[in-house]
């Protein structure tokens, strides 16, 4: 079992929080949700946003699986903890 200088919980947490946000923004741009910020559109698109957040967590889970396979445990734990706010928000929005 080897440890690297990159095996840090806090680095994993930062990745775990940023990766789904970037994924959701890129996905919203590709399907054309720029009108989301208009008056009254948020209530209509709440289920879509919830599904986008769930889709963003799959990117985190894939990265977490890769990190577990590479035996970078602390980094993987940080990514796993970063999923929690997105799952809570998706449950509230759905």
Please give the pLDDT value at position 41: 66
CB burial string 40-78: b at 16+ within 10 A, e below: eeeeeeeeebbebbbebbebbeebbeebeeeebebbbbb
Residue 36, pLDDT > 70, answer: no
Please report, for the chain, how many H helices and E strands are present, in that order: 3, 0
Contact (CB, 8 A) for 55 and 24: yes
Residue pLDDT, tens place only, 54-71: 888 888 889 889 988 988
33 has a pLDDT exceeding 70: no
Q: Look up residue 18 and give its two tokens.
A: 């940023």
Between helix 9-31 and helix 41-69 the angle, nearest 10°, is 140
């Amino acid at each position: 079992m080897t440890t690297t200088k990159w095996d840090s919980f806090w680095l994993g947490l930062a990745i775990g929080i940023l990766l789904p946000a970037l994924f959701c923004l890129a996905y919203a741009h590709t399907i054309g949700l720029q009108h989301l910020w208009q008056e009254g559109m948020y209530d209509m698109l709440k289920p879509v946003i919830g599904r986008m957040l769930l889709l963003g967590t799959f990117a985190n889970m894939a990265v977490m699986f890769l990190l577990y396979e590479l035996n970078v445990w602390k980094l993987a734990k940080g990514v796993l903890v970063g999923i929690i706010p997105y799952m809570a928000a998706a449950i509230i929005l759905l």
